[in-house]
Chain A
Amino acid sequence: MLADFIQYDFLRNTFLTGLLIGIIAPLLGTFIVVRRLSLIADALSHVTLAGIAFGLLIEKKFAAGLITPLYSGMAFSVLGSIFIEKLRGVYQAYQELAIPIILSGGVGLSVIFISLADGFNTELFNYLFGSVSAVSQNDFYSILAISIVIILVIRLFYKELVTLSFDEEHAIVSGIHSKRIHLLFIVLTALVIAASIRIVGVLLVSALMTLPVAASMRIARGFKQMIIFSIVFGELAVIIGLISGYYFSIPPGGTIVLVSIVILLLSIGLKRFNYTPKKEREVK
């Protein structure tokens, strides 16, 4: 079944990009879920859509190649993430308000850019639900570079991110710069979302960041184990989802999310049948 993905360049790019986002989306997702920020991924994906629509508009109306939708999407996503942080500071008692503000702003801008460009149906459909053929070699290299940066930054700031996620007050008292670390984290999230949209689409990107984590959370012992399980589940969902999406001619966003849900249901089932990892049984 994998033969086509090895043989054809466009499928190979998609597959390799899929493997990358199968790592970075659940990796960031682990921190997003434990910090109860799951909806931020949704808000940012809609801002990214506005950026992509802007990029497509520029491509269509002016010169092609001047600004690619991947980069304009990324720029909008990062700006949106910084704006979310500012809004969370303004509405400290109602921090979740930042999410509908940014989400609706993103959708509003998208509608304007799309109508200014007189619609761009097929391409936009790919961005909404993902595509197995939309990843160019340049996109792949850009996403590879972004993935390396994200993994490196997470490795370097891992202990600060975990400490902040677990108990923000304690982290601040112990002298960690919570605002700076949080800003770094939210910008990384924005980059992951922009990078993932080619494959899973705007509407389903948050699923790839949260569903593998939700499954992993049921059975993991410790934070590191949760990250590892989340990435394994994310990769499984991407590989099975991409291949099945290609063979059944369905946008891969849909199949990836469905596979993630099956994995989630299995992990809930395992927990219900009282499965615990071997080491945990020994402790008890």
Chain B
Amino acid sequence: MNEPIISMKNIEYAYENKSVLSNINFEIPQGSFMGLVGPNGGGKTTLIKLILGLLKPDSGSIDLFGQPVDKFKAWDKIGFVSQKSNSFNKGFPATVFEVVSMGLTAKVGYLKFFTSKHKKKILHTIDQVGMGEYAYENIGNLSGGQQQRIFIARSLVSDPELLILDEPTVGVDYENVQRFYELLHQLNNEQNITLLLVTHDTGTMTEHATDIVCLNKTLHFHGNPKEYLSLSEKDLSQFYGHPVNIVTHDH
């Protein structure tokens, strides 16, 4: 198994004395594509916030690239596409180029300016997500699926080794979801970027992910897609905390 990029040990987290996460132990190996699923309120977004250092666990330890999260400084190694990304202020007059350039701000550093090399990199990344022709268009004029690609480009432009995506396909139509997964697949396979994807869309995700974790306050399942798909309705109902009916369908 490859070196773990994220390692979580005995994580406990409570919000106002109400336990949100308990006894969380898992690792994300380098090069994997991990799907994180679970019911609403099951602690998925909290887990992401703990990994990103936005929240501190009550107990337990989180290591990123072998370093404790509170000492971790190389944030440019981690790209993040938030659930809130597509609820940004649509009236903000920023071009696609400007939005993607924001992904380089921290990497370039204080008191330094973008060079022509950075600008080339930004345009290249916009091309990579298939949005080259819209580089100088205001982001507010694009569709939800196109905007999501731009936010991925913003995270990719700093050449991250790990990309964390929190429910990025909410509100995106089926065709764009498919293109989105093709892009993730390509990033994982061709560029060896480790992916952690929080999603409700388990159907398409299982076609691409290498690992699946099911979270409802604590980890209920950790295995590969084949094992996940072989779970019975009874197992899933137990994980989700309510009855689950498995419906398979071709889109």
Binding site for B on A (CB under 8 A): 34, 36, 156-157, 159-160, 162-163, 165-167, 169-176, 217, 220-226, 279-280, 283
Determine the residue in chain B with the shortest Cβ distance to A165: B92
In the complex, chain B residues whose CB is within 8 Å of the CB of A156: 110-111
Summarize A's interface: helix, strand, loop or mixed. helix
- A170 in contact with B98 (CB, 8 Å): no
Asked whether B75 lies within 8 Å of A175 as measured between CB atoms, the reply is yes
Chain A residue numbers with a CB within 8 Å of B106 are 163, 171, 174-176
B15 at the interface (CB under 8 A from A): no
Give the distance in Å from the alpha carbon of A35 to the alpha carbon of B101 in the complex: 19
Measured CB to CB, the nearest residue on chain A to B97 is: A222
Given A34-B89, A223-B93, A224-B98, CB of A159 within 8 Å of CB of B105: yes
Q: A162-B98, A167-B88, A174-B103 are in contact. Are A222 and B108 (CB under 8 A)?
A: no
- Structural contact, B92 and A169, CB atoms closer than 8 A: no
Q: CB of B149 within 8 A of chain A?
A: no
Question: Judging by beta carbons under 8 Å apart, are A222 and B98 in contact?
Answer: yes
- Please give the distance in Å from B132's CB to the nearest CB on chain A: 11
> Once bound together, how far apart are the Cα atoms of A176 and B94, in whole Å?
19
- Tell me, yes or no, whether B154 is within 8 Å of chain A by CB: yes
Q: Which one of A160, A165, A173, A279 lies within 8 Å of B136 (CB-CB)?
A: A279
Contacts A34-B89, A170-B80; is A221 near B102 (CB within 8 Å)? no
Check A222–B136 contact: CB distance below 8 A.
yes
Beyond A221-B93, A222-B94, A222-B136, whether A167 also contacts B105 by CB under 8 A is: no
Q: Which residues of B contact A176 (CB under 8 A)?
A: 105-106
Q: Does B210 contact A (CB under 8 A)?
A: no
Query: Can you sample 30 A-B contacts with CB below 8 Å?
Result: A34-B92, A159-B114, A162-B94, A163-B102, A166-B94, A166-B102, A167-B85, A167-B88, A169-B54, A170-B80, A170-B85, A170-B154, A171-B105, A172-B54, A173-B78, A173-B80, A174-B76, A174-B106, A174-B158, A175-B106, A217-B91, A221-B95, A221-B137, A222-B94, A223-B92, A223-B93, A225-B93, A226-B93, A279-B136, A280-B137
Residues of A within 8 A of B99 (CB): 166
What 7 additional pairs, Cβ within 8 angstroms, besides A169-B84, A222-B97? A166-B99, A167-B102, A174-B158, A176-B105, A176-B106, A222-B93, A280-B137
In angstroms, Cα B155 to Cα A171, docked, is: 11
Does residue B133 face the partner (Cβ distance < 8 Å to A)? yes
Which residue of chain B lies nearest to A160 when distances are taken between CB atoms in the complex? B105
